[in-house]
Amino acid sequence: MAAQEPPSPTHIVRDLMQAIRSIKTSDNEALSATAMAQNTAAIKLANSILDIPDVSQRILGRHWKQRTPTEQREFTALLTELFTNVAYPKSAEFFSDLEVKVQDERITGQRAVVTTTVSDPKEGLISVDYQLQQHENTWRVRDIILDDVSLTRNLRSQCQKIITEHSYDELLRRMREKLSE
């Protein structure tokens, strides 16, 4: 029996978009048990597609090696919580009524780029590129480029500034504060 081909980078990006779009948000109203279960499944899928450990390491850059393994796990866990509780719900609201079109897929060895466009009535055409890397026969998203602005570089710049001007502990405090909003 032949080994099954892994899903293509385009398929992975579509799965990520579908998972994020399916996340239900509420304005101070409790979600039903069904909606909460669907959100949990969608978030689990999104987190399995987004390479959060790699993103965490790239965000901290040179500061990553200065952290203990426990601190690295704590940072990755906080970043995962921020994606889960802040980024995914905001993205779900943003993308809910927008048309997303896949324009291109380029694979070079273990890396791929899936180019998409989003048509927004207010903003016009927005370019969203997904950079993926293959890990153990599975493609995972390692960066999202929104109109030529890298999510990872943007987060890295913000985190580096806080660490440099204040401290690593201040960065963690601000991340926790954002989660409690």
Convert the pLDDT of each residue in 120-156 to its tens digit.
888 788 899 999 999 888 999 999 999 899 999 999 9
The answer to the question of residue 115 being in a domain is yes
Q: pLDDT by residue (tens digit) across 38-78?
A: 999 999 999 999 999 999 999 999 999 999 999 999 999 99
Query: Which of 80 and 33 is assigned the larger pLDDT?
Result: 80
The answer to the question of residue 2 being in a domain is no
Confidence of residue 1 (pLDDT cuts 50, 70, 90): very low
Q: What is the CATH number of the domain that holds 104?
A: 3.10.450.710
Residues 6+ apart with CB under 8 A from 29: none
Per-residue exposure over 110-125, b if at least 16 CB sit within 10 Å of its own CB, e if not: eebbbbbbbeeeeeee
Q: pLDDT by residue (tens digit) across 82-128?
A: 999 999 989 988 887 788 899 999 999 999 999 999 888 887 888 99
Q: Please give the single-letter amino acid code of residue 20.
A: I
Q: How far apart are CA 68 and CA 116, in angstroms?
A: 38
DSSP track, 95-143: HTT-EEEEEEEEEETTEEEEEEEEEETTTEEEEEEEEEEEETTEEEEEE
The answer to the question of residue 3 being in a domain is no
Q: Please state the pTM of the whole predicted model.
A: 0.89
Contact 132, 152 (CB under 8 A): no
At residue 20, the pLDDT reads 93
The answer to the question of residue 1 being in a domain is no
Per-residue pLDDT at 2 exceeds 70: no
The answer to the question of residue 81 being in a domain is yes
Q: How many domains does the chain have?
A: 1
The answer to the question of residue 4 being in a domain is no
The answer to the question of residue 76 being in a domain is yes
The answer to the question of residue 82 being in a domain is yes
Contact 100, 16 (CB under 8 A): no
Domain range holding 16? 9-180
Nearest C-alpha neighbor of 79 from the set 106, 98, 104, 60: 60
